[in-house]
Amino acid sequence: MEVPFLDLKAQYFSLKKEIDEAISSVIGDAAFIGGKYVAEFENDFAKYVGARHCVGVGNGTDALFVSLKAIGVGSGDEVIVPANSFIATSEAVTLAGARPVFLDCHSETYNIDVDLIERAITPKTKAIIPVHLYGQPADMDPIMQIAKNRGLAVIEDAAQAHGAVYKGNKVGNFGTAACFSFYPGKNLGAYGDAGAIVTNDDHLAEKIRMFANHGRKEKYLHETEGVNSRLDGLQAAVLGVKLRHLDEWIDSRRGVAGRYDGALQGTVLTPKVLTGVSHAYHLYVIRVKDREKTQQKLKEIGISTGVHYPIPLPLLPAYRYLNHKPEDFPVARSLSGEIMSIPMHESLENGQIDYVVEKIKALV
């Protein structure tokens, strides 16, 4: 039996008529940059998240970078980020001219360890970027309290957490701003690169939109230097169609996760979900001791897996200049050798889930 890690073809064919009509409409209207399809998606996504504003941008990395620049992060500043994430989180900090300050992750949720934040703050600290990793919200209450007490901005990295809920509110409503990626493999994915920033701050939304559009509010009147990072009409139209189905897909993912939880409990370490949280399950990540061998055996019998992420960010060659050592991040280092992502998408059938479970149990 073949069990794909993700099945974007199945998702497309389930929506083919809606998707094809949406793309055709954009082409027919020649609304490729800006226009009504982008505006409609921005409005709809802001409502979905529960935020006042949404600004579409080119991708999730741009969303982080633009947000940091809009809040004034620059040379000499420090931004606190988790050690266990994709490089976009820390890369955006460096692109903004600041220094990423890496913190270890929580041993059960794999999100940033909130108990380490206070001691990492210095006079140079400007912001905190909590990542809602794999679809589970970071523990936002203590993060926001620390930020309030210390006068820091919070930029939520929600690239993997569309539709995730923390204590009754969707992620994206807690920080100064929140950043989303619509990379094709996300729970809400475009057919190319795309991203968005949401915020409840009217003035910040204006700054973000201006900076992402060459620093201008109107054509040829550039108030500052900015960048060119825009959500295009085709991607906006595709996302608009998919957004209508997102909650249904997330419910399906939670159903898959529940089936995995029940069947794999006691065999491997399954995801630990915080109390008061609704995980969006962009990824379902387990821990196994002999990961490489397990992955290879599963591949041989048709089960695709992934590793997110094999090297903690501060231990990458890109950050050698920071002189970190593996013992500085004991939890992230331990996780990096054991975490394995198994198939997770809304098209998984019970027979496929049972097959994955059966084979994992036989191997570990």
| Partners of 54 in the β-ladder | 198
**What residue has token string 């995730």?**
164
Residues 313, 178 within the same domain? no
**Cβ atoms of 223 and 69 closer than 8 Å:** no
225 by DSSP, 3-state: which?
A: coil
Average pLDDT over residues 312-325: 98
Domain of residue 330 covers 246-363
Query: What total of structural domains would you count in the chain?
Result: 2
d(CA 201, CA 177): 8
Residues 189, 276 within the same domain? no
**Residue 363 banded pLDDT, cuts 50, 70, 90:** very high
The mean of the pLDDT values for the chain is 97
d(CA 105, CA 92): 19
Average pLDDT over residues 49-65: 98
Contacts of 304 by beta carbon, 8 Å cutoff, 6+ apart: 3, 4, 5, 298, 343
Average pLDDT over residues 73-87: 98
Whether residue 2 is contained in a domain is answered as no
Indicate the residue among 218, 243, 268 that finishes a domain: 243
For the stretch 102-153, pLDDT in tens is 999 999 999 999 999 999 999 999 999 999 999 999 999 999 999 999 999 9
Picking from 85-89, 103-107, 214-218, which range would have the lowest pLDDT averaged per residue? 214-218
pLDDT of residue 147: 98
| Partners of 177 in the β-ladder | 155
d(CA 313, CA 157): 15
- Element containing residue 218 per DSSP (H, E): strand 216-218
For the stretch 6-18, pLDDT in tens is 999 999 999 999 9
Residues 101, 220 within the same domain? yes
Residues 208, 319 within the same domain? no
The runs of H, that is alpha helices, within the chain are 8-14, 16-29, 36-49, 60-70, 88-95, 117-120, 140-150, 202-212, 233-243, 246-264, 291-300, 330-336, 350-363
Residues 239, 259 within the same domain? no
pLDDT of residue 96: 98
d(CA 336, CA 79): 23
Q: Would you call 304 exposed, middle or buried from its count of C-beta atoms within 10 A (0-12, 13-18, 19+)?
A: middle
**Cβ atoms of 167 and 161 closer than 8 Å:** no
**What residue has token string 């206070």?**
118
Indicate the residue among 191, 214, 243 that finishes a domain: 243
Distances (CA, A) of 338 to 36, 104, 205, 295: 46, 16, 40, 11
Whether residue 308 is contained in a domain is answered as yes
Q: What is the CATH number of the domain that holds 286?
A: 3.90.1150.10
Q: What is the CATH number of the domain that holds 231?
A: 3.40.640.10
Query: Which tokens sit at 153?
Result: 């901005």
Whether residue 1 is contained in a domain is answered as no
Residues 223, 268 within the same domain? no
Residues 124, 61 within the same domain? yes
**Residue 281 banded pLDDT, cuts 50, 70, 90:** very high
d(CA 150, CA 134): 28
Indicate the residue among 243, 258, 278 that finishes a domain: 243
Residues 21, 44 within the same domain? yes
* The pLDDT of residue 218 is above 90: no
Contacts of 189 by beta carbon, 8 Å cutoff, 6+ apart: 8, 182, 183, 242
Residues 222, 334 within the same domain? no
Whether residue 115 is contained in a domain is answered as yes
174 by DSSP, 3-state: which?
A: coil
pLDDT of residue 10: 96
Whether residue 164 is contained in a domain is answered as yes
Residues 201, 95 within the same domain? yes
Whether residue 125 is contained in a domain is answered as yes
* The pLDDT of residue 217 is above 90: no
Residues 224, 267 within the same domain? no
Residues 205, 265 within the same domain? no
Our CA angle for 33, 22, 251, nearest 5°, is 110
**Cβ atoms of 287 and 331 closer than 8 Å:** no
| Partners of 180 in the β-ladder | 196
d(CA 69, CA 72): 5
Whether residue 51 is contained in a domain is answered as yes
* The pLDDT of residue 40 is above 90: yes
